[in-house]
Homo-oligomer: A and B are copies of this chain.
């Protein structure tokens, strides 16, 4: 293992290349305000970078020891954590927080045990670091290997869920990354308690405690600084709603993986088994309406619309789903009018749009126009139709004859998930340990020079 400290490591890498100095008075040509970096956030970034150098070469056994020690500490010191959480919850209640977010904020013995179990499960997963992805020998004899390595420092910004502190840190650590975390002010005391226990566990295993760092200043200014820590952060993952994603898009200057909306469709084709279609649509919509892999839109081929629209309309209405449709849907079952805005909305509720289309091409065009690139499902028994849909529908996950709810790291067999990417760069779809790595090329020569 590498030594933890070195006086040569006390200044940021790429100090001159990318320093804030280049940016003059903090305003660029387009007038954007760049964060004036405070000592605190910069210092946390530097500490995370230093820790990441050690983690990058840590053995699997040591990382697993750290995860297991952290899990034990969460369980052993759960009363301490519950006290901190109670203080957060009481403050939030006094401030008038709504019941749903209050429930997300609240920890219980069972929820703490689930966090500990999550860390133990991550310890049991295979280590992605060190995998040789490919390689070859060049005609000149140079040997090249592409090897999987950690990203380095993974920053996670998230909202009112203290369990993310533990879940995100655990998956980052197993993949060899330092986790730089920023939660919400409402969960600060809970997050501080969890981070302290994780840090103790990591240190117990002989790794630097700074493998897990929490930004404790939760002001808006530090959030922007956090998104602009170019000298230290290799990847920023936001976990939260549309306003957080918008702020990331507007402010982040570090590389980002967007865990975005899920405006998912189910397309019921002319050649669908309609009993199967009924089950899949109802499951996709109603199994858990508030999550990103729930379906928001139903697209039906007009050749089965006379039969299927009334059947599915009744089934969804019976399940309490409000429907909004186009003329073709409304002619066959009573529902409200869907606007383009409705078709483009992720309801996250018992509400669904319906469109009747004249062809597979029109279905694909509808999906590609309104979808958010998350998950698109088709129900069909026709092979050509299924293959065309998988090729032309543009989303992270294309599902044939199954519920959209299967887009999930656990259900994909990843063992752990840090989010679902709706962008195309780096990771697409569910993100597990592998998606928290990058690669480096190793080139082995024998005195080779370029002529």
Contacts and interface: CB of A to CB of B under 8 A. Distances in A.
Copies in the complex: 2
Contacts of A411: 138, 142, 450
A371 B266 CA distance: 49
A224 B30 contact: yes
A448 to B, nearest CB: 4
Given A406-B448, A426-B425, A249 B273 contact: no
Given A33-B30, A406-B448, A424 B255 contact: yes
B276 A30 contact: no
Nearest to A153: B424
B428 A438 contact: yes
Contact of A401 (B346, B368, B444): B444
Contacts of A53: 368, 392, 394
Interface residues of A, number: 108
Interface string A242-268: 100011011101011100110100000
Contact of A449 (B142, B261, B402): B402
Interface stretch (A10-18, A102-110, A193-201, A313-321): A10-18
A142 to B, nearest CB: 6
A396 interface: yes
Given A398-B441, A438-B424, A447-B280, A250 B250 contact: no
A30 B32 contact: yes
Of A29, A390, A423, A425, most B-chain CB atoms within 10 Å: A425
Interface in A315-370: 340-341, 344-346, 361-362, 364-366, 368-370
A344 B443 contact: no
Contact of A29 (B34, B220, B413): B220
A401 B445 CA distance: 5
Interface of A: 2-3, 6, 8-9, 11, 13-17, 22-23, 28-35, 53, 56-57, 136, 138, 142, 144, 151-152, 220, 224, 230, 234-235, 242, 246-247, 249-251, 253, 255-257, 260-261, 263, 273, 276, 279-280, 283, 287, 340-341, 344-346, 361-362, 364-366, 368-373, 390-392, 394-403, 405-407, 411-413, 423-426, 428-429, 438-450
30 contacts: A8-B362, A8-B369, A9-B365, A11-B340, A14-B344, A16-B344, A16-B345, A17-B344, A30-B251, A32-B33, A34-B250, A53-B368, A53-B394, A56-B392, A57-B392, A138-B411, A144-B413, A255-B423, A255-B425, A279-B449, A283-B450, A398-B440, A399-B443, A400-B444, A401-B448, A402-B448, A403-B449, A403-B450, A406-B450, A425-B438
